[in-house]
Structure formats: C-alpha cells, structure tokens
Amino acid sequence: LDINTPTVLGVDVGGTNIRLAIVDTQGEIGERSNQQADLSQLNGQGAAQCVLDTLSEAILPLLEKHPQITAVGIGFPGFFDNKTGLMISSPNIPGLRDFALADALHKRLRLPVHVQNDASLAALGEFRFGAVQGLSSLLHLTLGTGIGGGLILNGKMYGGDGGMAMEIGHMHIAPEGRICGCGNTGCLETYASATAVSQGYLEQSGKRLNAQQICLLAEQGNQLALTILEEAGHYLGRAIAEAVKLLDVRHVSISGGLSQAWSLLFPTLSQALEERLIPPLRGRIHVCHSALNDDAGILGAAIFAFEE
C-alpha cells in the first residue's frame, strides 16, 4: 500500500481466531496478521478484561509498525445497540453484557475504534467489494463455527431494533431437528455450520475431523462426507428461501470456511431453494460464493472505520 494513502485496520473476530489487515480506501489489503484466540471459552466477570487484553495484543503491533493507520474497525460476534454503540450481549461469551468495547479499546489504542456485528460487517464488505457490484440489497451468510447472517437493505446495513436482525443461523428449518446452543431444535446452524458438518461426520463414522478435512474427503468421493455436505446445502437452500420470501432480496452471497466446498453445496442448495420459493420468485434469486476469499469481514470492518 502507498504510505501516503489513508489506511485503517480491519479486524474480524471469529470463533477461534482474530484476523487483522491494513486496508486502504479502495479496499486494497496490505499487511495481515492472524492470531489464534478462543474467546468462546471466556466466562464470568473477567471476560471483558480478557477480550480487551486479547484484542489490544493483536492490534498494537500493527499500529506501532504502521503509523499511517487512522482508525480501527472491528467485526465482533455480538449484538450492538445502534444508538449507544454498547454491545448488549455476545452469543458465545455470556460474561459480556452492556459492554462499551469501542470506548474501552479507544482508550487503550488512542485511535478511533468502531465495532459492529461481525456478520453485518461481512455483508457490508461483500456488498461493496464482492462479486456483484451496484446492487441495492444483499443477504450475506458466513458459514463458520456458527452461521452468521448480515443484510444490506437499500444500500445500508440493517441490524434491526436491537442489532439482532438476520440471525439466520437460528432459523428453524427442520422439525424435530438437532438441539442447538440457543436452546431450540432444528436451527440452520445445527446442519450447515462447520461445527455441524464435523459433528455429523463424527456421529456417523466415529471419526473426529474438521470441516476442511471433510470437504477434502468429499472431493475425493467419500460418500458419507458427500452426503453431509449435500445435506448442509439442502438446509441452506431452505433457509434462504424463507428469508427471501420475507425480504424480496434477490442477491445472496455466502462466505466462510465451509463455502470452499461450493461445488458440493450448491446443487442441493439451489434445488431446495427453488422448490420452496413462491412462483414469482423462482429463477430470480442469485446465490453466489463470495469472491473475497473470506476477507469480507475484514473489508467490511475497514469500510465501517472509514465511514463512521
């Protein structure tokens, strides 16, 4: 990156790691850093302090090395009040409640810090720099440890009244389905997240593999791995059909580790989607694999830092 162009730091906080990159106004990415951090194990009163320590330790070395960085944008798995900016809660970290993460980090880093829901920012990144440009609306899904959903409506991020819109991972898609971490059964993420794929394979084979290994096996023709991925695609198609019937959004993009198996997910996804649409929507919903190599979250965080 040109040292004279304005740059920000985009940070994407995931279930098991924190990914950071320097980004300029054109969405060009410079130096990156990747830190292993399992924040989901945090609990109780020390959680806020630990989140602050972990994020500061990941961010500070890059700020020291690149003094041209003017702000930090962070996508975090949490629900944010759009008036106060407070993190109301985080689905994976019960100890965090009404947490002023942006303000607390701003004091430590001495730079403007902007924090927003990770899936909403991934949607923003995809909307601005993704495969299809010039859209007015976009629904974006990230298939990771869980399933995140983000929505851009008429060019703007839509988070709902309390920052909890598009919790598509908890859309009920299977009657009498598997038990979800949210306490309900049959949620999308119990079938189509990386965790679900890994769990499904373990239950039927007795072998514990991660989603990436299962995708590889499927590509080599392993029947169980293929069946599990096709099932994941099928349930994604069901959920997307229900979402677009509510929203009439015509473009959907999908990112996250599991989306690497696109050619295996897409046929059943597409079939389940078309079957469940109302006739006027059939053939009009475009679902594509993210073209950003999982940088949607980092880019969205950077856009948010530039524009807030």
Q: Output the CA angle 270-146-228, nearest 5 degrees.
A: 50
Q: Give the shortest CB-261-to-Zn ion separation in angstroms.
A: 22
Q: Give the shortest CB-184-to-Zn ion separation in angstroms.
A: 5
Measure CA 272 to chain center.
23
Question: Measured between alpha carbons, how far is 22 from 269 in angstroms, rounded to an integer?
Answer: 35
Select the span of 23-31, 79-87, 113-121, 164-172 touching Zn ion (CB under 5 A).
Answer: 164-172
Is position 19 an interface residue for Zn ion (rule: CB under 5 A)?
A: no
Query: Amino acid identity of 259?
Result: S
Q: Give the shortest CB-169-to-Zn ion separation in angstroms.
A: 7
Bridge-based pairing of strands 17-24 and 156-157 is unpaired
Which residue from 135, 182, 288, 291 is in contact with Zn ion, where contact means CB under 5 A?
Answer: 182
Question: Measured between alpha carbons, how far is 21 from 305 in angstroms, rounded to an integer?
Answer: 13
Is position 187 an interface residue for Zn ion (rule: CB under 5 A)?
A: yes
- Is 136 in a helix, a strand, or coil? coil
Instruction: State the DSSP string of 243-303.
Output: HHHHH---EEEEESGGGGGHHHHHHHHHHHHHHHS-GGGTT--EEEE-SSTT-HHHHHHHH
Q: Give the shortest CB-119-to-Zn ion separation in angstroms.
A: 14
**Residue 54 or residue 185: which is nearer to Zn ion going by CB?**
185
Is position 209 an interface residue for Zn ion (rule: CB under 5 A)?
A: no
Q: Give the shortest CB-183-to-Zn ion separation in angstroms.
A: 7
Q: Give the shortest CB-192-to-Zn ion separation in angstroms.
A: 12
Select the span of 91-99, 127-135, 180-188, 256-264 touching Zn ion (CB under 5 A).
Answer: 180-188
Is position 188 an interface residue for Zn ion (rule: CB under 5 A)?
A: no
Select the span of 46-54, 187-195, 200-208, 222-230 touching Zn ion (CB under 5 A).
Answer: 187-195
Bridge-based pairing of strands 113-117 and 69-76 is parallel
Copy the structure tokens of residue 1. Answer: 């990156």
Is position 174 an interface residue for Zn ion (rule: CB under 5 A)?
A: no
**Residue 187 or residue 285: which is nearer to Zn ion going by CB?**
187
Copy the structure tokens of residue 181. Answer: 């971490």
Is position 63 an interface residue for Zn ion (rule: CB under 5 A)?
A: no
Select the span of 41-49, 167-175, 192-200, 249-257 touching Zn ion (CB under 5 A).
Answer: 167-175
Kindly state the DSSP code that residue 281 receives in the 8-state scheme.
G
Is residue 112 a contact partner of residue 72, using CB atoms and an 8 Å limit? yes
Kindly state the DSSP code that residue 253 receives in the 8-state scheme.
E
Is position 170 an interface residue for Zn ion (rule: CB under 5 A)?
A: yes
Could you give the count of Cα atoms lying within 13 Å of 149 in the half-sphere of its Cβ? 22
Is residue 124 a contact partner of residue 149, using CB atoms and an 8 Å limit? no
Question: Measured between alpha carbons, how far is 304 from 204 in angstroms, rounded to an integer?
Answer: 43
**Residue 185 or residue 213: which is nearer to Zn ion going by CB?**
185
**Residue 35 or residue 185: which is nearer to Zn ion going by CB?**
185
Is position 121 an interface residue for Zn ion (rule: CB under 5 A)?
A: no
**Residue 199 or residue 271: which is nearer to Zn ion going by CB?**
199
Which residue from 180, 240, 285, 302 is in contact with Zn ion, where contact means CB under 5 A?
Answer: 180
Question: Measured between alpha carbons, how far is 162 from 84 in angstroms, rounded to an integer?
Answer: 11
Quickly tell me which residue has 């302090």 as its tokens.
Answer: 49
**Residue 188 or residue 258: which is nearer to Zn ion going by CB?**
188
Give me the residues that bind Zn ion (CB under 5 A), please. 170, 180, 182, 184, 187
